[in-house]
């Protein structure tokens, strides 16, 4: 994993070395193991290297193929590079390194744009194709690796982080609609727009091609989640076995590295599963214990340390425990914000920051993580209503009613009244919009969110559609952004087995009773791990993740937050005169946080509203 940069002179002007070098220097934290520049007329490509596979200079970038017609800058990992290398060698390609970057180049030479359909991995890359006189750019299926870009009258520029593109702006202006949506409380953020006016992002599953002759660019989709009807017809036993095999293989290929690998461990089902399966595979080929990192909350109510400890003992892990307290939170917040570059919705992002910081301190360059398990296996309560609607369509309402009663006995979150509340809230765009409007009445204007809420309402009547929407647009993209920024700020590569595209497509295609049964969510996963982990983990009902001790931190940070919010010029322009000061103390804590983090972001990055 690395950082990339590129700039094209749209009027044919040559690229100045200082311009490109500055873009690369701004992401030095992403790649402490090397840097490289290519200046070729009106094209400049730059790279910072975090060496993971083939630590020799043979993996240096920008990398050009043997014929000299293709040069790539690339951030990510192609996990199936070993298998692809063998396939490409049979097709006549010759390799001089062990790096997956060389495999990527050969795959493009062999298959052109379709190379991305052969990759199992995470990537963000740009290939200068001299033969076709174009720049071909791509971002992985779910957008794990970032690709930001900007187009001005004179330049097209791209990079792994927003900070690389800010010098191309005449002023740092907030994108008003994105900012308002965040303040109102939307979970989603636009998949193609940042918080900065003029700075865009390529969505996951899309390619971007820039014709260097005409200077015209096109964006095209190459991946979209689809359901495999044959999977839903599997028996529960068959489904669990195939799910288990896919998950173990997803972990196997993500353990490929020439540097130390560990895992994040919250103590929840997903991270504990990854830790358990990875430790078993690691012990089979390596000496010493597999490493895990846990961020513990200083509030007993959301501290999962005891669960994590059980997993550590069960798998004989080398455990690194970090417990951030308020001084750590307050002292690191500016650094977290600089890493994130954009506002983020809760202090839990700070807890994740400390996990990555601890990994760097202990020499772990690669971390596995359980991100994606909730989205693929119905781990969130908001999926329950759609699940029951699907049951009613296939088995009728009497069967569904019996299922609701049976599930509620084992899971209080699935009580009938709760399910009705979930359905009313998540499946009524106008109800949600009314609630957003009420709690945001301190704003002068409100964003245009009704169409997006209606899209959610429509998807909420079908489990697959709802999962697809959350993975591609409304939930997962933001979570992946937070993780990449936190990890790469400390030069850490995170790998997410639950988001192996094979496992995602299989999981979304499972029948409903393989996902929720007898009140247990993620049922196939629990059945697959039964006997492999302590029952207290496998059949655990609650989940938290790396939750911050929010109430305690907010109490201690209260005055700082209030002063920052009420003194913010950006919020002053967005709010109705006197309304924010009058209502601030009565706003819910997470709304106060959103206001605070926007004020801090605007101050840190010198952002104006107009």
State the catalytic residues: 2
Nearest to 159 by CA among 305, 333, 330, 20: 20
**What dihedral do alpha carbons 158, 161, 163, 165 form, nearest 10°?**
10
User: Under a CB-based contact definition with an 8 Å cutoff, are residues 523 and 515 in contact?
Assistant: yes
**What dihedral do alpha carbons 379, 384, 386, 391 form, nearest 10°?**
110
Distance CA 515, CA 231 (A): 13
Three-class HEC string of 330-373: HHHHHHHHHHHCCCCCCCHHHHHHHHHHHHHHCCCCEEECCCCH
- Residue 548, CA atoms < 13 Å, CB-side half-sphere: 25
Tell me whether the omega of the peptide bond preceding residue 605 falls within 30 degrees of 0, making it cis: no
User: Under a CB-based contact definition with an 8 Å cutoff, are residues 492 and 367 in contact?
Assistant: yes
Distance CA 321, CA 315 (A): 16
Distance (Å) of CA 432 to CA 386, 423, 437: 17, 11, 9
Helix pair 416-426, 397-410: axis angle to 10 deg: 110
Q: What is the pairing mode between strands 148-151 and 200-201?
A: antiparallel
User: Under a CB-based contact definition with an 8 Å cutoff, are residues 323 and 299 in contact?
Assistant: no
Distance CA 266, CA 319 (A): 12
Distance CA 118, CA 17 (A): 35
DSSP-H helix ranges across 209-304: 229-232, 236-254, 269-285
User: Under a CB-based contact definition with an 8 Å cutoff, are residues 279 and 290 in contact?
Assistant: yes
CB within 8 Å of 106: residues ≥ 6 apart: 65, 85, 88, 93, 95
Number of helical H runs and strand E runs in the chain: 25, 17
């Amino acid at each position: 994993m690395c950082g990339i940069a590129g700039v094209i002179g749209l009027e044919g002007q040559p690229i100045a070395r200082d311009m490109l070098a500055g873009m690369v220097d701004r992401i030095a934290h992403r790649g402490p193991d090397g840097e490289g520049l290519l200046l070729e007329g009106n094209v400049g490509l730059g790279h910072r290297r975090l060496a993971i596979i083939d630590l020799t200079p043979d993996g240096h970038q920008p990398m050009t193929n043997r014929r000299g017609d293709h040069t790539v800058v690339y951030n990510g990992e192609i996990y199936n590079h070993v298998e692809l290398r063998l396939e490409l060698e049979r097709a006549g390609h010759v390799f001089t390194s062990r790096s997956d970057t060389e495999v990527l180049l050969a795959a493009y030479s062999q298959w052109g744009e379709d190379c991305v359909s052969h990759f199992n991995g995470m990537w963000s890359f740009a290939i200068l194709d001299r033969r076709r006189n174009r720049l071909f750019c791509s971002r992985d299926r779910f957008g794990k690796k970032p690709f930001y870009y900007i187009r001005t009258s004179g330049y097209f520029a791209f990079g792994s982080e927003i900070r690389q593109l800010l010098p191309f702006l005449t002023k740092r202006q907030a994108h008003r609609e994105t900012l308002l949506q965040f303040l109102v409380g939307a979970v989603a953020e636009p998949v193609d727009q940042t918080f900065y006016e003029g700075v865009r992002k390529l969505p996951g599953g899309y390619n971007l091609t820039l014709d260097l002759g005409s200077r015209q660019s096109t964006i095209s989709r190459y991946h979209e989640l689809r359901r495999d009807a044959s999977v839903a017809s599997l028996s529960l036993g068959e489904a669990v076995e195939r799910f288990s095999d896919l998950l173990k293989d997803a972990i196997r290929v993500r353990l490929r590295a020439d540097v130390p690998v560990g895992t994040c461990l919250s103590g929840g089902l997903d991270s504990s599963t990854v830790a358990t399966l990875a430790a078993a595979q690691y012990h089979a080929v390596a000496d010493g214990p597999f490493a895990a990192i846990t961020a513990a909350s200083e509030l007993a109510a959301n501290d999962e340390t005891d669960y994590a400890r059980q997993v550590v003992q069960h798998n004989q892990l080398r455990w690194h425990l970090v417990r951030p307290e308020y001084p750590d939170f307050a002292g690191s917040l500016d650094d977290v914000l600089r890493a994130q570059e954009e506002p983020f919705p809760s202090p839990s992002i700070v807890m994740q920051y400390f996990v990555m910081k601890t990994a760097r301190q202990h020499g772990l360059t690669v971390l596995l993580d359980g991100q994606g398990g909730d989205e693929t296996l119905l781990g969130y309560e908001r999926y329950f209503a759609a699940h029951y609607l699907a049951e009613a369509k296939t088995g009728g309402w009497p069967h569904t009613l019996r299922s609701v009663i049976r599930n509620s006995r084992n899971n209080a979150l699935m009580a009938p009244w709760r399910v009705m509340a979930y359905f009313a809230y998540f499946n009524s765009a106008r109800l949600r919009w009314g609630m957003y409007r009420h709690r945001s009445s301190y704003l002068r204007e409100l964003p245009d969110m009704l169409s997006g809420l209606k899209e959610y309402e429509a998807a909420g009547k079908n489990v697959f559609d709802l999962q697809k929407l959350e993975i591609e647009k409304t939930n997962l993209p933001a979570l992946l952004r937070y993780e990449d920024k936190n990890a790469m700020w400390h030069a850490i590569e995170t790998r997410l087995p639950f988001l192996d595209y094979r496992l995602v497509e299989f999981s979304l295609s499972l029948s409903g009773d393989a996902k929720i049964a007898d009140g247990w969510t993620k049922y196939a996963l629990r059945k697959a791990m039964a006997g492999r982990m302590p029952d207290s983990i496998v059949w655990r009902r609650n989940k938290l993740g790396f939750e911050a001790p929010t109430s305690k931190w907010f109490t201690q940070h209260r005055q700082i937050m209030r002063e920052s919010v009420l003194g913010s010029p950006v919020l002053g322009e967005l709010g109705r005169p006197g309304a924010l000061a009058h209502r601030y103390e009565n706003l819910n804590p997470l709304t106060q946080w959103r206001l605070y983090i926007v004020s801090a972001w605007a101050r840190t990055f010198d952002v104006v509203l107009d």
